[in-house]
Amino acid sequence: MSAEFSFTVHATDGQARVGAISISRGDIRTPAFMPLATAATIKAMHPQTVRALGYDVVVSNTYHLMLASGAERIAALGGLHKFMNWPHPILTDSGGFQVMSLARLRKLSERGVTFQSHIDGSRYELTPERSMEIQSLLGSDIQMQLDECVRLPCSHEEAERAMRLSLRWAERSKAAFGRQRGRAIFGIVQGGTEKGLRVFSAQGLVEMNFDGYAIGGLAVGEPQAAMLDMIDAVVPHLPSDKPCYLMGVGTPDDLLQAARRGVDMFDCVMPTRAGRHGLVFTRRGRLNLRNARFADDPRPVDPLSSSPVARDYSRAYWRHLTKSGEILAMMGLTEINLAYYQDLMSGARLAIKEGRLDAYIAEAQRNWAEGEAEGH
Protein backbone atom coordinates (compact mmCIF):
# COMPACT_ATOMS: atom_id res chain seq x y z
CA MET A 1 0.00 0.00 0.00
CA SER A 2 1.06 3.59 -0.61
CA ALA A 3 1.90 5.66 2.46
CA GLU A 4 -1.24 6.88 4.23
CA PHE A 5 -3.50 4.57 2.19
CA SER A 6 -5.14 1.51 3.71
CA PHE A 7 -8.21 -0.67 3.38
CA THR A 8 -9.87 -2.30 6.38
CA VAL A 9 -12.68 -4.87 6.26
CA HIS A 10 -14.97 -4.48 9.28
CA ALA A 11 -17.51 -7.23 8.61
CA THR A 12 -18.45 -9.81 5.97
CA ASP A 13 -21.61 -11.55 4.84
CA GLY A 14 -20.72 -14.33 2.43
CA GLN A 15 -18.44 -12.68 -0.14
CA ALA A 16 -19.81 -9.20 0.61
CA ARG A 17 -17.84 -7.01 2.94
CA VAL A 18 -18.24 -3.65 4.64
CA GLY A 19 -15.15 -1.63 5.38
CA ALA A 20 -13.30 1.62 4.83
CA ILE A 21 -10.58 2.97 2.62
CA SER A 22 -8.42 5.37 4.63
CA ILE A 23 -6.53 8.03 2.72
CA SER A 24 -5.05 11.38 3.67
CA ARG A 25 -8.14 13.40 2.73
CA GLY A 26 -10.58 11.19 4.60
CA ASP A 27 -12.22 7.78 4.83
CA ILE A 28 -14.36 6.16 2.15
CA ARG A 29 -17.02 3.86 3.57
CA THR A 30 -17.50 0.75 1.47
CA PRO A 31 -19.40 -0.55 -0.41
CA ALA A 32 -19.45 2.94 -1.89
CA PHE A 33 -21.15 4.54 -4.86
CA MET A 34 -19.07 7.41 -6.24
CA PRO A 35 -20.87 10.21 -8.15
CA LEU A 36 -19.29 11.41 -11.37
CA ALA A 37 -17.70 14.84 -11.26
CA THR A 38 -16.41 14.28 -14.78
CA ALA A 39 -15.37 17.84 -15.61
CA ALA A 40 -14.79 18.97 -11.99
CA THR A 41 -18.48 19.15 -11.16
CA ILE A 42 -21.33 16.79 -10.37
CA LYS A 43 -23.74 18.07 -13.01
CA ALA A 44 -26.57 20.21 -11.55
CA MET A 45 -25.27 19.81 -7.99
CA HIS A 46 -23.34 21.96 -5.53
CA PRO A 47 -20.46 19.99 -3.96
CA GLN A 48 -21.74 20.90 -0.49
CA THR A 49 -25.07 19.25 -1.32
CA VAL A 50 -23.32 16.10 -2.50
CA ARG A 51 -21.36 15.98 0.75
CA ALA A 52 -24.53 16.56 2.79
CA LEU A 53 -26.08 13.51 1.12
CA GLY A 54 -23.31 11.44 2.70
CA TYR A 55 -20.85 10.95 -0.14
CA ASP A 56 -17.20 10.44 0.75
CA VAL A 57 -15.59 10.49 -2.71
CA VAL A 58 -16.29 11.63 -6.28
CA VAL A 59 -14.85 10.60 -9.66
CA SER A 60 -13.31 13.01 -12.16
CA ASN A 61 -11.85 12.26 -15.57
CA THR A 62 -8.45 12.76 -17.16
CA TYR A 63 -9.77 12.94 -20.73
CA HIS A 64 -12.38 15.63 -20.10
CA LEU A 65 -10.15 17.77 -17.89
CA MET A 66 -7.18 17.66 -20.28
CA LEU A 67 -9.46 18.80 -23.11
CA ALA A 68 -11.19 21.50 -21.08
CA SER A 69 -9.00 23.59 -18.77
CA GLY A 70 -5.89 21.40 -18.89
CA ALA A 71 -4.08 19.76 -15.98
CA GLU A 72 -1.30 22.35 -15.82
CA ARG A 73 -3.79 25.19 -15.43
CA ILE A 74 -5.73 23.37 -12.70
CA ALA A 75 -2.45 22.59 -10.90
CA ALA A 76 -1.47 26.27 -11.05
CA LEU A 77 -4.83 27.16 -9.52
CA GLY A 78 -4.19 24.93 -6.52
CA GLY A 79 -5.24 21.50 -7.79
CA LEU A 80 -8.55 19.82 -8.45
CA HIS A 81 -9.77 19.74 -4.83
CA LYS A 82 -9.45 23.50 -4.48
CA PHE A 83 -10.60 24.14 -8.06
CA MET A 84 -13.97 22.43 -7.48
CA ASN A 85 -14.20 23.11 -3.73
CA TRP A 86 -14.26 19.43 -2.77
CA PRO A 87 -11.67 18.90 -0.01
CA HIS A 88 -12.51 15.21 0.27
CA PRO A 89 -11.15 12.18 -1.67
CA ILE A 90 -11.20 12.29 -5.47
CA LEU A 91 -10.63 9.34 -7.79
CA THR A 92 -9.62 10.11 -11.37
CA ASP A 93 -10.16 7.79 -14.31
CA SER A 94 -7.24 7.54 -16.73
CA GLY A 95 -9.16 8.58 -19.86
CA GLY A 96 -8.87 5.23 -21.62
CA PHE A 97 -12.61 4.59 -21.84
CA GLN A 98 -13.37 8.10 -23.12
CA VAL A 99 -10.70 7.83 -25.81
CA MET A 100 -12.52 4.70 -27.02
CA SER A 101 -16.04 6.09 -26.74
CA LEU A 102 -15.68 9.79 -27.62
CA ALA A 103 -12.42 10.63 -29.40
CA ARG A 104 -12.13 10.84 -33.18
CA LEU A 105 -9.44 9.43 -35.49
CA ARG A 106 -7.99 7.29 -32.74
CA LYS A 107 -4.62 5.65 -33.50
CA LEU A 108 -3.31 3.08 -31.06
CA SER A 109 0.30 2.00 -30.66
CA GLU A 110 2.51 0.41 -28.03
CA ARG A 111 3.53 3.90 -26.92
CA GLY A 112 -0.04 5.12 -26.31
CA VAL A 113 -2.94 6.58 -28.24
CA THR A 114 -3.25 9.68 -30.42
CA PHE A 115 -6.65 11.14 -31.14
CA GLN A 116 -8.65 14.20 -32.06
CA SER A 117 -10.77 15.97 -29.47
CA HIS A 118 -14.49 15.43 -29.93
CA ILE A 119 -14.91 19.09 -28.91
CA ASP A 120 -12.72 21.06 -31.34
CA GLY A 121 -10.67 18.54 -33.32
CA SER A 122 -7.37 19.35 -31.58
CA ARG A 123 -4.85 16.51 -31.60
CA TYR A 124 -3.59 14.89 -28.40
CA GLU A 125 -1.39 12.02 -27.36
CA LEU A 126 -2.14 10.03 -24.22
CA THR A 127 0.47 7.58 -22.95
CA PRO A 128 0.56 5.76 -19.61
CA GLU A 129 3.18 8.24 -18.43
CA ARG A 130 1.20 11.29 -19.54
CA SER A 131 -2.02 9.96 -18.00
CA MET A 132 -0.29 9.54 -14.65
CA GLU A 133 1.32 12.97 -14.97
CA ILE A 134 -2.08 14.57 -15.58
CA GLN A 135 -3.64 12.77 -12.63
CA SER A 136 -0.76 13.81 -10.37
CA LEU A 137 -1.03 17.43 -11.54
CA LEU A 138 -4.72 17.33 -10.71
CA GLY A 139 -3.81 16.05 -7.26
CA SER A 140 -6.22 13.12 -7.29
CA ASP A 141 -6.11 10.75 -4.34
CA ILE A 142 -6.77 7.52 -6.25
CA GLN A 143 -5.36 7.32 -9.77
CA MET A 144 -6.14 4.73 -12.42
CA GLN A 145 -3.72 3.11 -14.83
CA LEU A 146 -4.18 3.84 -18.54
CA ASP A 147 -5.85 0.88 -20.24
CA GLU A 148 -7.50 0.01 -23.53
CA CYS A 149 -11.20 -0.62 -23.29
CA VAL A 150 -12.65 -2.54 -26.25
CA ARG A 151 -16.22 -2.42 -27.46
CA LEU A 152 -18.32 -5.49 -26.76
CA PRO A 153 -19.00 -7.88 -28.30
CA CYS A 154 -15.55 -8.48 -29.76
CA SER A 155 -13.50 -11.48 -30.83
CA HIS A 156 -11.32 -13.46 -28.43
CA GLU A 157 -8.27 -12.27 -30.33
CA GLU A 158 -9.20 -8.60 -30.00
CA ALA A 159 -10.01 -8.96 -26.30
CA GLU A 160 -6.69 -10.72 -25.67
CA ARG A 161 -4.68 -8.12 -27.63
CA ALA A 162 -6.24 -5.24 -25.66
CA MET A 163 -5.87 -7.07 -22.34
CA ARG A 164 -2.16 -7.76 -22.90
CA LEU A 165 -1.56 -4.17 -24.00
CA SER A 166 -3.37 -2.96 -20.87
CA LEU A 167 -1.09 -5.15 -18.73
CA ARG A 168 2.00 -3.62 -20.31
CA TRP A 169 0.53 -0.14 -19.83
CA ALA A 170 -0.26 -1.05 -16.22
CA GLU A 171 3.41 -1.71 -15.54
CA ARG A 172 4.38 1.61 -17.14
CA SER A 173 1.60 3.45 -15.28
CA LYS A 174 2.76 2.09 -11.94
CA ALA A 175 6.38 3.01 -12.68
CA ALA A 176 5.32 6.54 -13.67
CA PHE A 177 3.20 6.88 -10.52
CA GLY A 178 6.16 5.99 -8.33
CA ARG A 179 5.54 6.58 -4.64
CA GLN A 180 3.26 9.49 -3.86
CA ARG A 181 2.53 10.05 -0.20
CA GLY A 182 -1.17 10.01 0.57
CA ARG A 183 -2.16 8.85 -2.93
CA ALA A 184 -2.89 5.45 -4.45
CA ILE A 185 -2.91 3.78 -7.86
CA PHE A 186 -5.30 1.05 -9.03
CA GLY A 187 -4.79 -1.46 -11.84
CA ILE A 188 -7.65 -2.33 -14.20
CA VAL A 189 -8.63 -5.90 -15.10
CA GLN A 190 -9.55 -6.27 -18.78
CA GLY A 191 -10.43 -9.21 -21.01
CA GLY A 192 -13.91 -8.61 -22.43
CA THR A 193 -16.33 -11.37 -21.54
CA GLU A 194 -13.66 -14.11 -21.65
CA LYS A 195 -13.17 -15.65 -18.20
CA GLY A 196 -9.72 -16.99 -18.97
CA LEU A 197 -8.51 -13.58 -20.15
CA ARG A 198 -9.98 -11.88 -17.10
CA VAL A 199 -8.21 -14.29 -14.74
CA PHE A 200 -4.92 -13.85 -16.62
CA SER A 201 -5.28 -10.05 -16.38
CA ALA A 202 -6.11 -10.15 -12.67
CA GLN A 203 -3.16 -12.40 -11.86
CA GLY A 204 -0.77 -10.20 -13.85
CA LEU A 205 -1.93 -7.06 -12.05
CA VAL A 206 -1.69 -8.68 -8.61
CA GLU A 207 1.95 -9.51 -9.33
CA MET A 208 2.54 -5.76 -9.85
CA ASN A 209 1.14 -5.07 -6.37
CA PHE A 210 -1.28 -2.19 -6.97
CA ASP A 211 -3.03 -0.43 -4.08
CA GLY A 212 -6.41 -1.57 -5.39
CA TYR A 213 -7.93 -3.31 -8.40
CA ALA A 214 -10.70 -2.32 -10.78
CA ILE A 215 -12.78 -4.42 -13.13
CA GLY A 216 -13.10 -2.40 -16.33
CA GLY A 217 -14.59 -2.86 -19.77
CA LEU A 218 -18.05 -3.87 -18.56
CA ALA A 219 -21.39 -2.03 -18.49
CA VAL A 220 -20.95 -1.41 -22.22
CA GLY A 221 -24.11 -3.16 -23.38
CA GLU A 222 -23.55 -6.76 -22.27
CA PRO A 223 -26.34 -8.51 -20.30
CA GLN A 224 -26.20 -8.31 -16.52
CA ALA A 225 -25.57 -12.06 -16.33
CA ALA A 226 -22.40 -11.69 -18.42
CA MET A 227 -21.16 -8.89 -16.18
CA LEU A 228 -21.79 -10.94 -13.04
CA ASP A 229 -20.01 -13.93 -14.58
CA MET A 230 -16.91 -11.76 -15.06
CA ILE A 231 -17.07 -10.56 -11.45
CA ASP A 232 -17.39 -14.15 -10.25
CA ALA A 233 -14.35 -15.08 -12.33
CA VAL A 234 -12.15 -12.18 -11.23
CA VAL A 235 -12.83 -11.50 -7.53
CA PRO A 236 -11.37 -14.80 -6.21
CA HIS A 237 -8.05 -13.88 -7.85
CA LEU A 238 -7.80 -10.44 -6.23
CA PRO A 239 -6.29 -9.93 -2.76
CA SER A 240 -8.97 -9.72 -0.07
CA ASP A 241 -7.08 -6.98 1.77
CA LYS A 242 -7.34 -4.49 -1.09
CA PRO A 243 -10.39 -2.70 -2.50
CA CYS A 244 -12.19 -3.93 -5.62
CA TYR A 245 -13.79 -1.32 -7.91
CA LEU A 246 -16.35 -2.13 -10.64
CA MET A 247 -16.11 0.69 -13.16
CA GLY A 248 -19.13 2.27 -14.85
CA VAL A 249 -21.81 0.30 -12.99
CA GLY A 250 -24.71 0.87 -12.77
CA THR A 251 -28.36 0.23 -11.93
CA PRO A 252 -29.43 -0.20 -8.30
CA ASP A 253 -29.71 -3.96 -8.84
CA ASP A 254 -26.26 -4.06 -10.48
CA LEU A 255 -24.77 -2.43 -7.39
CA LEU A 256 -26.39 -4.85 -4.98
CA GLN A 257 -25.53 -7.93 -7.03
CA ALA A 258 -21.91 -6.84 -7.36
CA ALA A 259 -21.62 -5.94 -3.68
CA ARG A 260 -22.90 -9.42 -2.88
CA ARG A 261 -19.91 -10.74 -4.85
CA GLY A 262 -17.31 -8.71 -2.96
CA VAL A 263 -17.10 -5.45 -4.93
CA ASP A 264 -16.37 -2.37 -2.81
CA MET A 265 -16.61 0.64 -5.15
CA PHE A 266 -18.87 1.76 -8.00
CA ASP A 267 -19.35 4.74 -10.27
CA CYS A 268 -21.89 5.44 -12.99
CA VAL A 269 -23.41 8.33 -14.89
CA MET A 270 -26.88 6.82 -14.47
CA PRO A 271 -28.33 8.67 -11.44
CA THR A 272 -27.17 12.12 -12.56
CA ARG A 273 -27.96 11.67 -16.26
CA ALA A 274 -31.38 10.19 -15.50
CA GLY A 275 -32.21 13.08 -13.18
CA ARG A 276 -31.48 15.61 -15.91
CA HIS A 277 -33.98 13.82 -18.16
CA GLY A 278 -36.90 13.44 -15.78
CA LEU A 279 -36.23 9.89 -14.56
CA VAL A 280 -35.98 9.23 -10.83
CA PHE A 281 -35.05 6.16 -8.79
CA THR A 282 -37.11 5.35 -5.70
CA ARG A 283 -37.66 2.47 -3.30
CA ARG A 284 -40.69 1.54 -5.41
CA GLY A 285 -38.81 1.54 -8.69
CA ARG A 286 -38.28 4.15 -11.38
CA LEU A 287 -40.58 7.04 -12.23
CA ASN A 288 -40.54 8.84 -15.56
CA LEU A 289 -41.85 12.22 -14.50
CA ARG A 290 -42.32 13.32 -18.11
CA ASN A 291 -45.30 10.96 -18.20
CA ALA A 292 -48.67 12.72 -18.41
CA ARG A 293 -50.14 10.56 -15.65
CA PHE A 294 -48.15 12.53 -13.08
CA ALA A 295 -49.62 15.89 -14.10
CA ASP A 296 -52.23 15.77 -11.32
CA ASP A 297 -50.41 13.51 -8.87
CA PRO A 298 -50.11 15.23 -5.44
CA ARG A 299 -47.96 12.50 -3.86
CA PRO A 300 -44.28 13.03 -3.09
CA VAL A 301 -41.73 11.27 -5.25
CA ASP A 302 -40.56 9.12 -2.34
CA PRO A 303 -41.90 9.76 1.18
CA LEU A 304 -39.14 7.60 2.73
CA SER A 305 -36.22 9.31 0.99
CA SER A 306 -33.47 10.88 3.06
CA SER A 307 -33.80 13.96 0.84
CA PRO A 308 -36.48 16.56 1.65
CA VAL A 309 -36.54 17.36 -2.08
CA ALA A 310 -38.12 13.93 -2.64
CA ARG A 311 -40.47 14.24 0.33
CA ASP A 312 -41.70 17.83 0.27
CA TYR A 313 -42.71 18.43 -3.35
CA SER A 314 -45.34 16.67 -5.42
CA ARG A 315 -44.84 14.54 -8.48
CA ALA A 316 -47.06 16.99 -10.32
CA TYR A 317 -44.70 19.83 -9.44
CA TRP A 318 -41.61 17.97 -10.62
CA ARG A 319 -43.40 16.99 -13.85
CA HIS A 320 -44.34 20.63 -14.39
CA LEU A 321 -40.72 21.76 -13.92
CA THR A 322 -39.41 18.97 -16.15
CA LYS A 323 -41.84 19.67 -18.98
CA SER A 324 -41.15 23.40 -18.65
CA GLY A 325 -37.42 22.85 -19.03
CA GLU A 326 -36.68 24.52 -15.71
CA ILE A 327 -33.13 24.18 -14.39
CA LEU A 328 -34.53 23.41 -10.93
CA ALA A 329 -35.94 20.16 -12.30
CA MET A 330 -32.46 18.95 -13.25
CA MET A 331 -31.09 19.98 -9.85
CA GLY A 332 -33.91 18.52 -7.78
CA LEU A 333 -34.24 15.21 -9.60
CA THR A 334 -30.48 14.69 -9.63
CA GLU A 335 -30.47 15.22 -5.86
CA ILE A 336 -33.32 12.74 -5.44
CA ASN A 337 -31.38 10.12 -7.41
CA LEU A 338 -28.12 10.66 -5.57
CA ALA A 339 -29.98 10.48 -2.27
CA TYR A 340 -31.51 7.17 -3.32
CA TYR A 341 -28.17 5.69 -4.38
CA GLN A 342 -26.64 6.77 -1.08
CA ASP A 343 -29.57 5.34 0.89
CA LEU A 344 -29.20 2.08 -1.05
CA MET A 345 -25.50 1.78 -0.24
CA SER A 346 -25.96 2.83 3.38
CA GLY A 347 -28.62 0.16 3.75
CA ALA A 348 -26.35 -2.42 2.13
CA ARG A 349 -23.51 -1.58 4.53
CA LEU A 350 -25.82 -2.02 7.52
CA ALA A 351 -27.24 -5.26 6.10
CA ILE A 352 -23.75 -6.71 5.63
CA LYS A 353 -22.82 -5.82 9.21
CA GLU A 354 -25.96 -7.57 10.44
CA GLY A 355 -25.53 -10.62 8.18
CA ARG A 356 -28.74 -10.09 6.22
CA LEU A 357 -27.63 -8.82 2.80
CA ASP A 358 -29.57 -11.49 0.89
CA ALA A 359 -32.78 -10.48 2.66
CA TYR A 360 -32.04 -6.80 2.00
CA ILE A 361 -31.58 -7.45 -1.72
CA ALA A 362 -34.72 -9.58 -1.91
CA GLU A 363 -36.76 -6.85 -0.22
CA ALA A 364 -35.38 -4.19 -2.57
CA GLN A 365 -36.19 -6.30 -5.63
CA ARG A 366 -39.69 -7.01 -4.33
CA ASN A 367 -40.36 -3.31 -3.74
CA TRP A 368 -39.13 -2.38 -7.23
CA ALA A 369 -41.24 -5.08 -8.88
CA GLU A 370 -44.40 -4.27 -6.90
CA GLY A 371 -44.05 -0.54 -7.44
CA GLU A 372 -43.51 -0.79 -11.15
CA ALA A 373 -46.31 -3.36 -11.54
CA GLU A 374 -48.67 -0.93 -9.78
CA GLY A 375 -47.38 1.96 -11.89
CA HIS A 376 -46.70 3.66 -8.55
Range 281-309 average pLDDT: 96
Q: What is the percent of the chain where pLDDT is above 90?
A: 86
What's the pLDDT band for 307 if we cut at 50, 70, 90? very high
What's the pLDDT band for 56 if we cut at 50, 70, 90? very high
Q: Give the model's pLDDT for residue 296.
A: 98
Cα distances (Å, whole numbers) of residue 18 to 60, 151, 175, 274, 341: 24, 32, 31, 28, 16
CB 258 within 8 A of CB 246: yes
Q: Give the model's pLDDT for residue 324.
A: 97
Top-confidence residue, 97 or 216: 216
Q: Give the model's pLDDT for residue 109.
A: 93
What's the pLDDT band for 2 if we cut at 50, 70, 90? low
Top-confidence residue, 35 or 104: 35
Q: Give the model's pLDDT for residue 203.
A: 98
Of 17-21, 97-101, 127-131, 334-338, which range is least confident?
97-101
Between helix 195-208 and helix 156-177 the angle, nearest 10°, is 10
Domains and CATH numbers, the chain: 6-267 (3.20.20.105), 275-365 (no CATH)
Q: Give the model's pLDDT for residue 16.
A: 98
Instruction: For residue 300, give the DSSP letter.
Output: B
Range 194-203 average pLDDT: 98
Q: Give the model's pLDDT for residue 61.
A: 92
Neighbour-count burial of 215, counting CB atoms closer than 10 A to its CB (0-12 exposed, 13-18 middle, 19+ buried): buried
pLDDT tens-digit readout, 223-262: 999 999 999 999 999 999 999 999 999 999 999 999 999 9
What's the pLDDT band for 150 if we cut at 50, 70, 90? confident
pLDDT tens-digit readout, 75-103: 999 999 999 999 999 999 988 777 777 66
Top-confidence residue, 315 or 68: 315
Q: Give the model's pLDDT for residue 121.
A: 84
Across the chain, what does the average pLDDT equal? 95
Q: Give the model's pLDDT for residue 103.
A: 66
Instruction: For residue 293, give the DSSP letter.
Output: G
What's the pLDDT band for 3 if we cut at 50, 70, 90? low
CA distance 19 to 353: 10
Range 118-132 average pLDDT: 90
Top-confidence residue, 108 or 345: 345
Range 260-288 average pLDDT: 97
**Which phi and psi angles does 203 have, rounded to 5°?**
-65, -40
Range 172-193 average pLDDT: 96
Sequence-ordered list of residues with C-beta below 8 angstroms from that of 136, at least 6 positions apart, any chain: 143, 177, 180, 183
Annotated active-site positions, please? 93, 267
CB 33 within 8 A of CB 279: no
Q: What is the percent of the chain where pLDDT is above 70?
A: 99
**Which phi and psi angles does 128 have, rounded to 5°?**
-55, -40
Q: Give the model's pLDDT for residue 104.
A: 72
